[in-house]
Structure 1
Amino acid sequence: MNDETEVVVAGRERAADGVVRLTLRRPGGGPLPAWEPGAHVDLLLDGGLVRQYSLCGSPRERTAWRIAVLREPDGRGGSAYVHDRLTVGTRLRVRGPRNNFPLRPAERYLFIAGGIGITPLLPMIAAAERAGARWRLLYGGRTRASMAFLGELAGYGDAVSVRPQDETGILDLDAFLAEPDVRTLVYCCGPEPLLAAVEERCGSGWPAGALQVERFHPREATGTTEDAAFEVVLARSGRALTVPAGGSVLEAIRSAGVEVLYSCTEGTCGTCETDVLEGEPDHRDSVLTDEERAGGETMMICVSRSRGPRLVLDL
């Protein structure tokens, strides 16, 4: 869903050191667009800032969305804007929800969170609990004070392992992931070093597709071709555009005056996902699974390129 919704900040509270939790509602009340665990929304902020934040409330609560935002001192300005300027009563536009991190049915789940990566996992855990699935959560952070939602998670008892680094050291992933099982899915969200470590461990012994991750920042580009120029054909109009070496498909399309949805321009949010009708994409995003990349049916036009001289897109 890419429709925009006007919302108002109806609640604001401190969730942990450096983390603020916001409740968003329609200015006149009423239901908001539905969503499922793992979904995020785009906040459309002043100055052209667009930032994605996971919904961490309950999908059953149709009149409110809840997000939690970590202030990132070395960020690009989005988190500082949220912390400094979004106060109770502030109105803003939101796009979505959209879900690149859906919770698939399974008998068992292993959830792994690092810091603010706990946000998309909260509604997943609640859904797993309602479904009667067995699950465990390994939750790491710098300090206990920096880890949001500890009070909420305490209600789940021993299923939750809270591991602040200053108390227990780095997460013991080897022990947590020691028993590969075809009935178990692994969901992980957090900083890139954690994701890479989990991917490494699940790459050996675990069934293909068992691990699902969501990134807040792009992983290292893994393109398989040089950045040579290629042609992009927009199927709906028949227009042919040249994407130069070093340029992006998105830039070429926008320079031609064609309006398309986009957001992060880093290949992490999924907003610009576009159907590929002909050609073979050179995927450089951080959203698609290995199976989706191999299928070649869609691509993120903000970062991905072409492995051949021509792509035909459903635009």
Structure 2
Amino acid sequence: MVTVAVAGGTTGIGSNVVRAILATKKHQLVVLSRSETPDLSKQGISVRVVDYTSHDNLTKALEGVHTVISCIWSFGPELGSSQLALLKAAQAAGAKRFVPSDWATDRYYAISGYGLKAPVWDAVKASGLEYTRFINGLWLNIWGLGSPRNETEALAGYTGPPFLIDLKARTALIPGDGSQKVVFTNMRDIGKFVAASLDLPHWQPDSRIVGDKLSYEEVVTLAERITGHSIEKTYYPEAQIESVLAGNPDPEQLFFHQFMKLIVDGAFDFEGTLNAQFPSIKTVTAEEYLTEYWGIINAFS
């Protein structure tokens, strides 16, 4: 048993990591939050309010912590500065392990919003702490918005818009010809693998998780069969993606098209190293997910 601190553990991927670690009943759990979180405190979780601009405050909050897991996310400079501050405090407090906030891809420079993750990763590797980063592809939960059956569970803390496929609107924007395989993983399963990894005697630098792997063409075909509704498909050729990227688009469009380019380039097609290490963790497949949250009669009515 060790003490684990999760930064950004109140929402999104962080809440799934916290839930999974808590379920193991093996470790002491600390959540670093910018504000009080009574709901977590009621579950026996130590919530420590932190100020990422104060080294002393962060270091004190990490006293006695063995493993620090960052689930910090923002679109601005804070994505880098908060994590670097967290890493320095972890070193000062005597922590042994550190996880930077990745949770998707390691292609930092291919996504403008992720560029600030690169110096964090370099600092982590030079920190002297044991480390790993969790790479899990796209989240299945991006298909949860508008689910007619338990939308909250389907989203699992995801708060963004539908990405490429909008099941409620019955539309799909398919990058390239739709044939490239893509890894999709439920955030709840990601949490389970993170919790299991705490017991490993040694971490590899990259911890890759595969929930399911299929092409966007296959996803749409699957969704149509499960929901009983046709989905309007629009193909977005690679040349068109590159043309938009070359035209200096606004930040939102830049982020969106860079992600599509990564899909076409095969960046989200990889094998799961943690799946091999933890074969007892059965991941939710795309078919199971769609059936659970969309597979009912008149799902769109």
> Fold conserved (TM > 0.5)?
no
Given the two structures, how large is their TM-score scaled by the length of structure 1? Answer: 0.30
More helix by share: 2
More strand by share: 1
Given the two structures, how large is their TM-score scaled by the length of structure 2? Answer: 0.31
